[in-house]
Chains A and B, each alone.
Chain A
Amino acid sequence: MALPAYYTTKDKLWHYAFRVICFAIFFFLLAPILIMIPLSFNAQPYFTFTREMLTLNPDGYSLRWYQDFLASDSWMRSIRNSFGIGIAATLVSTFLGTLAALGLSRSEMPAKGLIMGILISPMIVPLIISAAGMFFFFSSINIAQTYLGVVLAHAALGTPFVVITVTATLVGFDHSLTRAAANLGASPTRTFFKITMPLILPGVISGALFAFITSFDEIVVVLFVAGVEQRTIPREMWSGIREDISPTILAVATILVMVSIALLTVVELLRRRGERMRGLSPQ
């Protein structure tokens, strides 16, 4: 981008200074996350770059923290738990959330504002309060420290994201399409699966992804509701940071950053597909 010809020296100086400031802020955003990646290959149990690492000596690097991670029963259990709980909670919240969004986007829905407010409240109430409430309630009905309890809690926390994304997709939804299908003789079920579902699918999938990441990254409710058996990855990291802080955490963190890059890519691709399908060209 060439600068306009009428720019004075002061304008130019400000233009470049502004860019430097912006890139410093981008650096602030990315550096902490990226710096953990090389550090996770440290051969020493330190959180800093050793002299060997800085001189790129191969001896300074090792995979020992990854081996530690893979050899640890508790970390492996936490992976199984995180994915198991995450997938189960996502299924519950996607199913319930999509149904509710379909109902909420109908014009004849009564008390829409109030119901919407209740449905998205899990997103607004501070997690510590949700966690405390669930801790007392789940203990009283004997599902605290069970998988069922954690899955139900995470499903409740994930539904607002599904409701919001699917409702947003339905805003641009052309209802004459379903009427046309009905007019051509399709049953409501057939109309739903052949016409509605393919069109709202990007919204449903990105809602499901949000629900999954909510569960996958959730720690406060896990701290209160889960027992030792239900420890998830964030819960293991929590005790890792609090008790014995070892670079194994950095290896886990690196793997998680890779997972988030993959998820980010999926969501971005979905967004573009959704825009294409609704006739908005992605720029």
Chain B
Amino acid sequence: MSQADAIKPSPARREKLVTADGTPLRRALERANRRRKLTALALVAPLLAFILIFFAFPIAQMMWRSVDNPQIVNALPRTLQALDGWNRQGIPDEPVFAALHADMLEDLERPRREQAIGPLGIRLNYELSAARSAISRTARAVEDFEEPYSEAFIDAHRLWGQPELWRIIQREGRPLTASYYVAALDREYDEAGNIVQRDENRRIYVSLFGRTLALSLAITFMTFALGFPIAYFLANLPMRYANLLMIAVLLPFWTSLLVRTSAWIVLLQQQGVINELLVNIGLISDENRISMIYNQTGTIIAMTHILLPFMVLPLYSVMRTIPVSYTRAAKSLGATPWTAFRRVYFPQTLPGIGAGGVLVFIISIGYYITPALVGGQSGRMISNEIARHIQQSLNWGLAAALGTMLLVGVLVLYWLYNRLVGADSLKLG
């Protein structure tokens, strides 16, 4: 652009400047610039399209699942209409049951794959256990129902006689829902429809988020405590030795994650190398083997090992650029080595500490494999809960809500990281 400005002709001479074929120079230049811009875009376009389709869109679609709520609207349109004026006390009147009867009959006439009854049962079950069996048992009998329908339904399953089920149908009978987020924050709706905290023994996720944060902080601190000395040591060695010793940092970095995790299982388990060693040299007795794995300790040790290179590498590259003369000057002005380190050297390493710390924290907060393998119950993190809801409990809306919260947290941290050091400084290997 600066080139274009430089060549821009003064108004008086504008008429005269033309290219060989007679087009004004200004237009020719604009056209050339546009073509170059299009070339640049064309080069980027294939990858951009690829990432948008196979990466960004799937994630957006997953986030949409956390609020998407079509099941009740699809299955019970008449019922919802009839419920419109319900005062939320007791059970609804006969017209509502008649509408429910009509909705279910109509649904059962559709081909099996298009039936909305199955998803309805699954959806209601997230809010009220036993709702699924109520729906399926009713669906089997509904063709023989006779008036009064309210009695027929309540006979088929007692849940139809409970106001709670009807409140849920009315509350969730909308295309969008907040209930997955309500559940993800350990809250629920009370009888009046207010959001309240769950009973203490049913609170899971807030404390799990808290534990994930605490474990990630502990891991970040451990990588700092172990990474700072060796980065300092390496940065103050002559390059030849530093490159050689750097292998000790890079080899774990390049070694398969599963290999490193299984290495820690081999070392730390009850019959593992460390316990055997301690028993053999008589430090602990055979019955009192230390449990270092399948708990939080296991997660912290293994993840510190796995993420240590991510702390050492940015620290090292920052420390390499700190001139030795600053510390020397401080010492020659009378500072003790400790003061010189604390007041002159350490502040200059802060960008490296920030970069490494945020990087390690971001990675560990979303970590799945290592906690799943060595974490046991107490070392589980939020990712493990997301995976469990996708693969086992099949509550995909809740998984999506938890995942969206995790993703937003990570993106905010990354934004901070970017403000702190700039994404360009991401160094590999």
Contacts and interface: CB of A to CB of B under 8 A. Distances in A.
Interface of A: 11, 18-19, 21-22, 25-26, 28-30, 32-33, 35-36, 39, 46-49, 96-97, 99-100, 102-104, 106, 108-110, 115-122, 124-130, 132-138, 152-153, 155-156, 159, 161, 163-165, 206, 210, 213, 216-217, 219-220, 223-224, 233-234, 237-238, 241-242, 245, 249-250, 253, 256-257, 260-261, 263-264, 267, 271, 283
Nearest to A31: B267
Nearest to B55: A156
A153 B44 contact: no
Contact of A119 (B51, B365, B400, B411): B51
A217 B256 contact: yes
Interface stretch (B117-125, B136-144, B183-191, B225-233): B225-233
A109 B251 contact: no
Contacts of B51: 118-119, 121-122, 156, 159
Contact of B263 (A35, A103, A133, A234): A35
Given A36-B262, A135-B390, 17 more contacts: A25-B226, A25-B230, A28-B226, A28-B305, A104-B44, A125-B407, A128-B383, A128-B403, A129-B59, A164-B428, A237-B259, A238-B369, A238-B373, A253-B262, A261-B254, A264-B250, A271-B429
Nearest to B268: A32
Assign chain B's interface to a size class. 35 or more
B27 to A, nearest CB: 17
A30 B266 contact: no
B52 interface: yes
**Which of A97, A116, A257 has most chain B Cβ within 10 Å?**
A257
Nearest to A271: B429
30 contacts: A18-B229, A26-B248, A29-B305, A29-B308, A30-B252, A33-B252, A35-B273, A36-B259, A46-B271, A96-B50, A99-B47, A100-B43, A106-B39, A106-B43, A108-B36, A109-B44, A110-B37, A119-B47, A121-B56, A124-B362, A125-B366, A126-B406, A128-B387, A129-B406, A138-B58, A156-B51, A237-B258, A260-B256, A264-B254, A271-B429
B218 interface: no
B300 interface: no
Contacts of B54: 134, 137, 152-153, 155-156
A215 B394 CA distance: 27
**Which of B33, B226, B245 has most chain A Cβ within 10 Å?**
B226
B245 A103 contact: no
Contact of A125 (B261, B400, B410): B410
Given A97-B47, A210-B428, A241 B258 contact: yes
A26 B245 contact: yes
Contacts of B230: 22, 25-26
Nearest to B413: A124
A206 to B, nearest CB: 8
B55 A130 contact: yes
B240 interface: yes
Contacts of B250: 264
A270 B44 CA distance: 26
B65 interface: yes
